[in-house]
């Protein structure tokens, strides 16, 4: 069996999160055998949005692809990077078709694969959830179906990210993709991974021996925090309802996500392993 290993790290929060990615990638590559790295960079700019410089820093740190979420356009300059076909960064596919940016990323891996390991085409697609989300979006189910129906390679493997609040919506999309996109004559979804809540969940599993699913990958950033924000400032805002600048915290930096083990020959996931790597002080 030709096994491809792809690491996917959850929401990168500010500069601590960017440092966590840079620390984690050599370990994922050398200790866990990862061949490629995907990162959600949607909070890389001081906890909200992603700038062009943040994107480039994540790429230098080892990211082969970067995805965004509901803060996609918080830094307007990112639109130019999103529009450039040379940059492997994508915005949610279920925003308006008129919104700037790519809806799909094709992973380019030949130089990273060891001798003898051949890969099929691999795509990364991200969608927003609609339950309890501040940014209005179209149906994530219909967006996945539309984008995969248009893929020119019927032997492609697809990793779907759903950036959403509701666990039910994330799990429903995984079952939808398993039911709709497991045909041997069409692109196959091998994983549906959740992001956005910044809290790593304990439900990583492989559905029907084919599709890896996990409700939330967690975050890359300071874990002595409230989902990445300073504890004292957050308590002032929530407990006393006082004015507070919710700055990114700094302590107990970790990189969280998952490692996918893919059977390339049969286009399926064989395992999903949660990742939690601590960054030294």
Residue 112 has pLDDT above 80, yes or no: no
3-state secondary structure of 230: coil
What pLDDT is attached to residue 195?
Answer: 98
Helix intervals (H) in 69-139: 78-83
pTM over 0.95: yes
Domains in the chain, ordered, with CATH? 3-278 (3.60.21.10)
For residue range 185-223, what is the model confidence (pLDDT) as tens digits?
A: 999 999 999 999 999 999 999 999 999 999 999 999 999
* 266 noted as active-site residue: no
Predicted confidence at residue 115, as pLDDT, reads 77
Q: Are 213 and 193 in contact (CB under 8 A)?
A: yes
Residue of 280, 277, 281 lying closest to 9 (CA atoms):
277
pLDDT at 116: 72
Residue 281's CB is within 10 A of a number of other CB atoms, namely 7
DSSP one-letter string for 265-277: TTTEEEEEEEEEE
Q: Using CA atoms, how far apart are residues 88 and 81, in angstroms rounded to an integer? A: 9
pLDDT beyond 90 at 250: yes
Q: What is the pLDDT of residue 206?
A: 98
On average, the pLDDT of the chain sits at 96
- The percent of residues above 90 in pLDDT, for the chain, comes to 93
* pLDDT above 70 for 1: no
pLDDT surpassing 80 at residue 87: yes
What does the pLDDT average to over 60-84? 96
**CA 220 to CA 17: how far, in whole Å?**
5
Alpha-carbon dihedral sign for residues 278, 92, 190, 201: positive
Indicate whether 144 pLDDT > 80: yes
Could you say which of 35, 71, 198, 223 is catalytic? 71
pLDDT above 90 (res 176): yes
Structure confidence at residue 161 as a pLDDT band (50, 70, 90): very high
Q: For the sheet containing 205-207, what is the strand order? A: 105-106, 122-128, 157-163, 188-195, 211-214, 205-207
Which pLDDT score is estimated for 99?
96
| Closest residue by Cα to residue 126 from 161, 95, 159 | 161
Taking the CA of residue 109 as centre, how many other CA atoms within 13 Å lie in the half-sphere pointing to its CB?
24
**C-alpha to C-alpha distance for 14 and 248, rounded to whole angstroms:** 7
């Amino acid at each position: 069996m030709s096994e491809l290993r792809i690491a996917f790290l959850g929401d990168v929060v500010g500069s601590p999160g960017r440092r966590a990615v840079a620390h984690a990638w050599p370990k994922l590559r050398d200790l866990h055998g990862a061949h490629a790295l995907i990162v959600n960079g949607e909070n890389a700019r001081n906890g909200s949005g992603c700038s062009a410089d943040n994107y480039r820093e994540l790429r230098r740190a080892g990211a082969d692809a970067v995805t965004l979420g509901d803060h996609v356009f918080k830094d307007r300059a990112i639109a130019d990077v999103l529009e450039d076909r040379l940059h492997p960064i994508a915005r949610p596919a279920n925003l308006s078709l008129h919104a700037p940016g790519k809806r799909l990323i094709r992973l380019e891996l030949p130089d990273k694969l060891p001798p003898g390991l051949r890969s099929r085409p691999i795509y990364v697609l991200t969608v927003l959830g609609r339950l309890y989300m501040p940014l209005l979006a179209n149906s994530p189910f219909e967006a996945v179906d539309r984008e995969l129906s248009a893929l020119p390679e019927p032997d492609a493997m697809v990793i779907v990210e759903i950036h959403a609040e509701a666990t039910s919506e994330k799990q429903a999309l995984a079952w939808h993709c398993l039911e709709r996109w497991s045909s041997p004559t069409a692109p196959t979804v091998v994983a549906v991974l959740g992001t956005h809540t910044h809290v790593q969940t304990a439900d990583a599993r492989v559905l029907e021996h084919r599709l890896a699913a996990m409700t939330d990958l967690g975050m890359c950033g300071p874990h002595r925090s409230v989902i990445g924000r300073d504890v004292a400032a957050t308590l002032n805002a929530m407990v006393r309802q006082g004015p507070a600048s919710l700055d990114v915290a700094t302590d107990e930096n970790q990189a969280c996500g998952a490692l996918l083990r893919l059977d390339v020959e049969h286009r399926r996931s064989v395992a999903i392993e949660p990742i939690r790597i601590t960054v030294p002080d």
